[in-house]
Amino acid sequence: MTHPHNEAPVNPLPPVVVALFLVLAGIELTLWLGTQGLVGGPGAVGWRTGAIETYGFSGVAFDWMLDNGLWPTEHLVRFVSYPFLHASFSHGLFAMVILLAMGKIVTEAMGALTFVLIFFLSTIVGALAFGLLTDDPWLIGAFPPVYGLIGGFTLLLWMRLGVEGAPQIRAFTLIGLLLLVQLVFGVLFGGGNDWVADIAGFVVGFAVALLRAPGGMARVLERIRRR
């Protein structure tokens, strides 16, 4: 079998996915270099902490806004800025790897607009769920929108399994495994209630994909009628 000489060895990533990855990677690399004392001088060691305090989603600030009915811009921006900050380089790297994998699948199947909608709607709803359902002070990291992309991937897999006549419950294997790993790590090493935001992100991603995927809602209605 022959291949064209100019054919790429791997399929290129969608530009919108690459762009978002580069923003996340650029921020994380800058903060990591500052923490290591490689750029920015002595004050750069505190860049990550300062960024989290300014742009991380604050449960305390959210409660204050609810109690007082005030919604200042500097706190509203936290609803969309927190996924661009991570607790550590490894925390950010893991999120970005999943973003590339899931983002490629979702974007190629449903388009760049769907990718953007899933990312930011999962981000916002994840923060709302976190603020309303937990007492934790901080939410950071790209995992709520990443789980949203996993939700979109799950919907696509669910539809494909339906066409193949295979058990569609298998589509939820990935999210089940991820939540199990998260539970085990939480028990062994402790942790907060970030999983609330992650699940909210997954649900939003699944719902957006259901509305945006070709024939998605029609297949669900057809399945309901059969019952």
Question: Domains in the chain, please, with CATH?
Answer: 15-226 (1.20.1540)
Instruction: Report the range of poorest mean pLDDT among 8-17, 63-72, 92-101, 178-187.
Output: 178-187
**Per-residue pLDDT averaged across 79-93, rounded?**
95
In this predicted structure, the answer to whether residue 94 has a pLDDT above a threshold of 80 is: yes
The two structure tokens encoding residue 67 = 């109690």
Residue type, 121: L
Mean predicted lDDT score pLDDT of the chain: 88
90 versus 1: the higher-pLDDT residue is 90
Q: How confident is the model at residue 6 (pLDDT cuts 50, 70, 90)?
A: low
Q: How confident is the model at residue 2 (pLDDT cuts 50, 70, 90)?
A: very low
Give me the helices (H) in the chain, please.
Answer: 15-35, 47-55, 59-68, 73-76, 78-81, 89-110, 112-133, 143-164, 173-189, 194-212, 216-226
Read off the pLDDT of residues 164-204 as tens digits, 9 standing for 90 and up.
Answer: 888 888 888 888 888 888 777 666 666 788 999 999 999 99
SS3 state at 139? strand
Q: What is the dihedral of CA 16, 19, 24, 29, to 10 degrees?
A: 160
**Per-residue pLDDT averaged across 206-222, rounded?**
76
76 versus 223: the higher-pLDDT residue is 76
Read off the pLDDT of residues 154-165 as tens digits, 9 standing for 90 and up.
Answer: 999 998 888 888
Q: How confident is the model at residue 31 (pLDDT cuts 50, 70, 90)?
A: very high
Collect all residues with Cβ–Cβ distance below 8 Å to 159 and sequence separation of at least 6.
Answer: 213, 215, 216, 219
pLDDT at 189: 60
pLDDT at 226: 59
Nearest Cα to 100, choosing from 52, 58, 142? 142
29 versus 213: the higher-pLDDT residue is 29
Q: Please give the model's pTM, rounded to 2 decimal places.
A: 0.88
